[in-house]
Amino acid sequence: MKVIDHIRESKGTHISFEILPPLKGKGINALWEHLDPLLEFKPSFINVTYHRSESMFKRKSDGTFDKVEVRKRPGTVGICAAIQNRYKVDAVAHLICGGFSRQETEDALIDLNFLGVDNVLVLRGDAPRNESFFEPEPGGHRYAIELMNQVMNMNNGIYLEEDLKNAVKTNFCIGVAGYPEKHFEAPNMQTDLQYLKAKVDAGAEYITTQMFFDNKKYFDFVTACRNAGINVPIIPGLKPVSTKKQLTVVPRTFHVDIPADLSGEILKCKTDADVEIVGTEWLLQQSKELKAAGVPVLHYYTLGKPNIISNVVKAIL
Ligand code: FAD
């Protein structure tokens, strides 16, 4: 079932989770151990992130270095199918422009279609860690909207090889990303919203937001979207803070603020176990307020912390 149909068919607030594929070499059992306890909350869908390969330097025996491309977290398409098979819950496959040619993207979409995965979250991806700017792959897409257009084309039976006869029309429901605190490369919120509107006008059926720790940022973002003529559901993305280190890592990685009240409480903590208690309570209060405001879905980035998510969701259901 499509994400948009879940939202349309039930007026209450849905629950959904986002997981990462395991690091290469790890089995899928670690993922099941992470997800199994969360299934009691009956998520309407589960997102699986997509990861580009990273350039790494490997030392050779003569002391010089070889640059190699390593994909650390492969498996998104297979995991989506395994989730649907194991839990009978819809999976949402993330798709990114970075590191993929149009042909590779088309093949991934064909696989997803064959496997009965009807939901994709279409993203650009970021620059590799050791590069400052995002550059598309040769034959790849520069912006998420271009990738979206490729998915929309396949939904209309148009593949890259133009003369295919009676090509199957796929049936993907497409979501896109939105940024309550602005995408870090956008010159201002207004420009960012123009590009977001272009994605929605091109066929995106809902928006999932970057994480935020101050609900006002989400509420203001929804208002700004509506004023800009963006009228699709906007799903809030939520993540717990559970270590002191995250006070610097989260803003640097995700370009979001941690409110002074929260950082103040975290700085008072003696151990990360104490931080986890503070982070859980903060996420719980955020979730309660968003649910009371009638958000369509509470979407949790589980990121190795299923116990926190579990405690929060248990308390709000
Ligand atoms: P875009 O929509 O392409 O926007 C990127 C920037 O370009 C923005 O500043 C925008 O304002 C601007 N822009 C957009 N269109 C145009 C245009 N036509 N001309 C000029 N400028 C334009 N990353 C991963 O690698 N894997 C994941 O699985 C993943 N999942 C995510 C899930 C969510 C919910 C979110 C919020 C982010 C996720 N990301 C993921 C991170 C995401 O890839 C990055 O934030 C990336 O920098 C931007 O992606 P986007 O799809 O918003 O890009």
Q: Report domain extents, the chain.
A: 3-316
- Choose which residue among 46, 71, 96, 123 to substitute to test ligand 1 binding: the one with the highest number of ligand atoms within 8 A of its C-beta: 123
Q: What is the pLDDT of residue 156?
A: 96
CATH of 3-316, one of 3.40.190.10, 3.40.50.300, 3.30.470.20, 3.20.20.220: 3.20.20.220
Dist CA 140 CA 266 (whole Å): 42
Amino acid identity for residue 244 in this structure: K
Whether the pLDDT of residue 232 is over 80: the answer is yes
Q: Which residues line ligand 1 (CB under 6 A)?
A: 49-51, 94, 96, 123-126, 143-145, 177, 183, 185-186, 192, 195, 208, 210, 237
CA 241, 242, 244, 246 torsion: positive or negative?
Answer: negative
What percent of the chain shows pLDDT beyond 90?
Answer: 89
Instruction: Write the pLDDT tens digit of every residue in 142-201.
Output: 999 999 999 999 999 999 998 899 999 999 999 999 999 999 999 999 999 999 999 999
Whether the pLDDT of residue 303 is over 90: the answer is no
Whether the pLDDT of residue 122 is over 80: the answer is yes
Instruction: Write the pLDDT tens digit of every residue in 48-105.
Output: 999 998 777 788 888 888 888 788 899 999 999 999 999 999 999 999 999 999 999 9
Q: Which two tokens stand for residue 314?
A: 């248990």
Neighbouring CB atoms inside 10 A of 5's CB total 15
Mean pLDDT of the residues in the chain: 95
Whether the pLDDT of residue 305 is over 90: the answer is no
Q: Is 186 helix (H, G, I), strand (E, B) or coil?
A: coil
**270 Cα to the center of ligand 1, angstroms:** 36
Higher pLDDT, 63 or 121: 121
Burial tier of 254 (Cβ tally within 10 Å: 0-12, 13-18, 19+): middle
**124 Cα to the center of ligand 1, angstroms:** 4
Report yes or no: 206 and 247 within 8 Å, Cβ to Cβ: no
Burial tier of 87 (Cβ tally within 10 Å: 0-12, 13-18, 19+): middle
Instruction: Write the pLDDT tens digit of every residue in 260-287.
Output: 999 999 999 999 999 999 999 999 999 9
**31 Cα to the center of ligand 1, angstroms:** 26
Q: Whose CA is nearest to atom 12 of ligand 1?
A: 186
Tell me, what's the ipTM?
0.99
Bridge partners (DSSP) of residue 123 are 96
**125 Cα to the center of ligand 1, angstroms:** 6
Q: Is 183 helix (H, G, I), strand (E, B) or coil?
A: coil
Dist CA 261 CA 248 (whole Å): 15
Across the range 124-137, mean pLDDT stands at 90
